[in-house]
């Protein structure tokens, strides 16, 4: 059964991990699609702005100057480096007006977010049937012509442009002036940087993120709830099985006491001694009443301290504990048990439910015997401190591990370390004891050391 439960829980966790992976994969795909749609949306807008006639006029001015620089180059008046240098100077002089126009057009479309744009020059080539002449080639470092200056690694390329021009120029060859032409190829690249684009995409996916996290938490909650219920039901099932197997053992104490008492009543020496006879008969009555109520207790073990109905009566502590110890000694007379009665000498009037309170104390005493050493010694000590009646029950048993102490009063809990699991029980005794003490507006605490013993301290108000 344990292996099946482990397999079931492991399978559920693996399925949850698989579902989480699928969900993460789908969210990532959605993110990529949203990102692509967002960038395309921005690209379309920038492309429209880039086709503006005012900007085209600035491009044309720069292009005309480039053609003149090429004509000077053909006449050996400029070098390639000078062409590039002067072209850059010209674009820089036009760039202030370019940025002004671009920002104005960008403001008109009202994107709702900031976009930086730039145009890079990638190559300038003179075309020739024999051999092309490269005036400029960007390589790894491109030359910015227009727009903002930003690092290319953070930019998105929106388009690449290539334009050709056939240009006439005056060429002087050996004192002879001729009109020749040259074919020019210019390549440019447009790039943009969208500021905080990730935040914008994430905002557009906010509902999806929220819904996914919510669903994921709900699934985890349901899985946790299901596993917890499964473990609880498994535990309750095991307890019920133990209850059926152990009920006879749990009721053996009062039955054994009744058996011993009834046999004693048959003896002639008991019959002839009226005091002993009446005392034994009283034991029979008390154990019979206890047996009947013990069955009711088992049937109603789920009651909490607030649901237990107490029938309080006044008892004198000395007399009460004497009767309690006498009854308990009779039930364990076959074992090596010594009980030390250190009840305070001054009489104290207690107001308690005699049956329930007795059952609570007997649960502690019986546990001392169950988990005791070869020779059992139990000390019952009482004190009257600041309006509270304190009861200390100390044994010399095997003790309880410290990590188990916080759970010792939990319903159905039983310590399963060492040889403790070999002792019969339902895990209800100390739970019931705790509920009874709480119902009397008292408290119970436990202190224990392994192989040295355990002390239960009960405090209940006197009035």
Give residue limits of the domains in the chain.
Answer: 1-50+205-249, 55-198, 300-461
CATH ID of 300-461, from 3.40.50.970, 3.30.565.10, 3.40.50.620, 3.90.226.10: 3.30.565.10
For the ranges 40-54, 289-303, 337-351, the one whose mean pLDDT is highest:
337-351
pLDDT digits (tens, 9 = 90+) for 391-410: 999 999 888 888 888 888 87
Q: What is the C-alpha R_g of the chain?
A: 48
Higher-scoring residue by pLDDT: 81, 297: 81
Average pLDDT of every residue of the chain: 83
Residue 398 tokens read as: 């095997």
Q: What pLDDT is attached to residue 442?
A: 92
| Between 73 and 241, the higher pLDDT residue | 73
Neighbours of 286 (CB within 10 A): 21
**Which pLDDT belongs to residue 243?**
59
Cα(100)–Cα(98) distance, rounded to whole angstroms?
A: 5
Give the separation between CA 181 and CA 80, rounded to whole angstroms.
18
Model pLDDT, residue 301 = 56
* Residue bearing the bigger pLDDT, 177 or 190: 190
Task: Please state, in angstroms and rounded to a whole number, the distance separating the CA atoms of residues 399 and 410.
Answer: 18
- The pLDDT score that the predictor gives to residue 305 is 58
Asked if 457 contacts 390 with a C-beta cutoff of 8 angstroms, the reply is yes
Which residue carries 């019969």 as its tokens?
424
Whether 446 has a pLDDT exceeding 90, the answer reads: yes
Average pLDDT over residues 290-319: 73
Q: CB–CB of 153/142 below 8 Å?
A: no
Q: Residue 313 — very low, low, confident or very high, per pLDDT cuts 50/70/90? A: very high
Pairwise pLDDT comparison (152 vs 61), residue with the higher score = 61
* Partners of residue 183 on adjacent β-strands: 127, 166
Mean pLDDT across 83-96: 91
Residue 422 CA: distances (Å) to CA of 370, 385, 419: 10, 39, 6
Share of the chain above pLDDT 70, in %: 89
Residue 310 in 3-state DSSP?
coil
What's the whole-number mean pLDDT along residues 298-304? 58
The Cβ-side half-sphere exposure at 73, using a 13 Å CA radius, reads 24
Alpha-helical (H) ranges within 175-251 are 197-204, 206-250
Q: What is the pTM of this model?
A: 0.48
> Do the beta carbons of residue 220 and residue 16 sit within 8 Å?
yes
Q: In this structure, are strands 388-395 and 376-385 parallel, antiparallel, or unpaired?
A: antiparallel
pLDDT at position 62: 92
Relative to beta strand 176-194, strand 313-316 is unpaired
Per-residue model confidence as pLDDT tens digits over 179-221: 888 889 999 998 888 888 888 888 888 888 888 889 888 888 8
Query: What is the DSSP-derived secondary structure letter of residue 402?
Result: G
Is residue 21 pLDDT above 50, yes or no?
yes
Q: What is the mean pLDDT of residues 113-130?
A: 87
Give Cα 299 to chain centroid, integer Å.
38
Report the pLDDT value the prediction gives residue 422, as an integer from 0 to 100. Answer: 45
Distance CA 251, CA 425 (A): 11
290 pLDDT more than 70: yes
Supply the pLDDT for residue 419.
41
pLDDT at 420: 44
Helix (H) or strand (E) holding 279: helix 274-299
Mean pLDDT value across residues 68-73: 89
pLDDT in the model for residue 445: 93
Task: Over range 339-368, report the average pLDDT.
Answer: 90
CB 341 within 8 A of CB 325: yes
Asked whether residue 421 carries a pLDDT value surpassing 50, the answer given is no
What percent of the chain shows pLDDT beyond 90? Answer: 21
């Amino acid at each position: 059964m344990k292996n099946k439960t482990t397999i079931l829980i492991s399978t559920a966790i693996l399925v949850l991990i698989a579902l989480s992976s699928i969900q993460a994969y789908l969210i990532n795909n959605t993110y990529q699609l949203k990102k692509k749609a967002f960038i395309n949306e921005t690209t379309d807008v920038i492309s429209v702005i880039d086709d503006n006639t005012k900007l085209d006029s600035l491009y044309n001015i720069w292009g005309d100057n480039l053609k003149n620089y090429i004509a000077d180059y053909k006449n050996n008046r400029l070098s390639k480096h000078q062409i590039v240098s002067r072209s850059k100077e010209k674009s820089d002089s036009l760039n202030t007006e370019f940025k002004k126009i671009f920002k104005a057009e960008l403001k008109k479309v009202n994107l709702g977010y900031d976009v930086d744009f730039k145009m890079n020059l990638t190559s300038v080539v003179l075309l020739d049937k024999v051999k092309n002449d490269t005036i400029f080639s960007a390589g790894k470092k491109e030359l910015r012509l227009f727009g903002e200056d930003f690092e290319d690694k953070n930019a998105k390329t929106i388009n690449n442009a290539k334009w050709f021009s056939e240009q006439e120029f005056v060429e002087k060859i050996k004192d002879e002036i001729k009109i020749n032409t040259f074919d020019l190829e210019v390549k440019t690249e447009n790039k943009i940087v969208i500021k905080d684009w990730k935040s914008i995409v994430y905002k557009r996916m906010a509902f999806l993120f929220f819904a996914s996290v919510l669903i994921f938490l709900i699934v985890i909650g349901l899985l946790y709830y299901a596993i917890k219920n499964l473990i609880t039901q498994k535990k309750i099932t095991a307890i019920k099985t133990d209850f059926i197997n152990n009920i006879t053992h749990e009721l053996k104490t009062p039955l054994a006491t009744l058996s011993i008492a009834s046999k004693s009543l048959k003896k002639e020496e008991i019959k002839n001694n009226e005091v002993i006879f009446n005392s034994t008969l009283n034991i029979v009555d008390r154990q019979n009443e206890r047996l009947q109520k013990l069955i009711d207790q088992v049937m109603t073990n789920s009651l909490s301290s607030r649901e237990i109905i107490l029938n309080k009566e006044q008892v004198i502590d000395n007399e009460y504990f004497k009767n309690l110890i006498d009854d308990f000694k009779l039930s364990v007379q076959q074992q090596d048990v010594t009980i030390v009665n250190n009840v305070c000498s001054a009489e104290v009037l207690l107001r308690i439910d005699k049956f329930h309170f007795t059952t609570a104390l007997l649960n502690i005493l019986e546990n001392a015997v169950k988990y005791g050493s070869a020779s059992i010694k139990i000390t019952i000590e009482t004190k009257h401190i600041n309006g509270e009646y304190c009861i200390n029950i100390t044994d010399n048993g095997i003790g309880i591990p410290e990590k188990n102490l916080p759970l010792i009063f939990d319903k159905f809990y039983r310590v399963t370390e060492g040889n403790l699991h070999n002792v019969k029980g339902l895990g209800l005794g100390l739970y019931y004891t705790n509920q009874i003490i709480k119902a009397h507006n008292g408290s119970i605490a436990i202190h224990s050391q392994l192989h040295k013993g355990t002390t239960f301290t009960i405090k209940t108000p006197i009035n």
